[in-house]
Homo-oligomer: A and B are copies of this chain.
């Protein structure tokens, strides 16, 4: 109770299975007394492209545009675009970040990748020599919750898609761990479009159940062994 949660949600359709998972998380966490904020990226028409528009006013070097340098400098002088400042404020205030999305091509959808690219700028999320366990977002938790098209068998060792943990490395280790954010076990719903209505209901119930004891969970050990053992 009293915990603050930011859910970054990337699905176009409220009636989708992802939409149901979002609804469950908002309801269950609110019931627990958490303060829940949702960034509904498609509804916000969130901009995924990292461009000059993210910097208000003059560039640090207008001769050759370097997105990393420009957003770092803009962050320091308070010159990032309004939509980024708003997202950063939500991140800053959150104890837990939940990412809810359908897996697209072994990865998050572009609109969510754009949120990572644009919101987690140097100076805000990490800095020179402040990365991984020293990242600037220390003290926060994260959880990747997603649906797949392929089955659990396909995403297993020996399956054609390989161990699902392989696709978690860039997201969990490369982004969250890099920023100092601890990572909870991912929540994966395999192929909800290809199972029975009963099975889908079971998956929704499992998510509700997990959320009930979420705050007692220990983060994973986000080392190469967890992913590639």
Among A28-36, A59-67, A180-188, the one that faces the other chain is A59-67
Identify which of B106, B114, B174 contacts A169 (C-beta below 8 A): B106
* Cβ contacts A127-149/B at 8 Å (1 or 0 each): 00001100000000000000001
**B residues in contact with A64, CB < 8 Å:** 13, 15-16
Stretch of A74-82, A159-167, A205-213 at the chain-chain interface: A159-167
Q: For the complex formed, measure the closest distance between the CB of A51 and the CB atoms of chain B, giving whole angstroms.
A: 6
Interface residues of A (CB under 8 A from B): 12-13, 15-16, 42, 45, 48-52, 63-68, 104-111, 113-114, 116-118, 120, 131-132, 149, 157, 160-162, 166-167, 169-171, 173-175, 178, 193, 224, 227-228
Q: Does B116 contact A105, Cβ atoms closer than 8 Å?
A: yes
A109 to B68 alpha-carbon distance, docked (Å): 12
Given the complex, which residues of B lie within 8 Å of A193, measured CB to CB? Answer: 66
Task: With A52-B12, A63-B15, A114-B48 as known contacts, state yes or no: A169 contacts B162, CB within 8 Å.
Answer: yes
A174 touching B105, Cβ below 8 Å: yes
CA distance A13 to B64 in the complex (A): 6
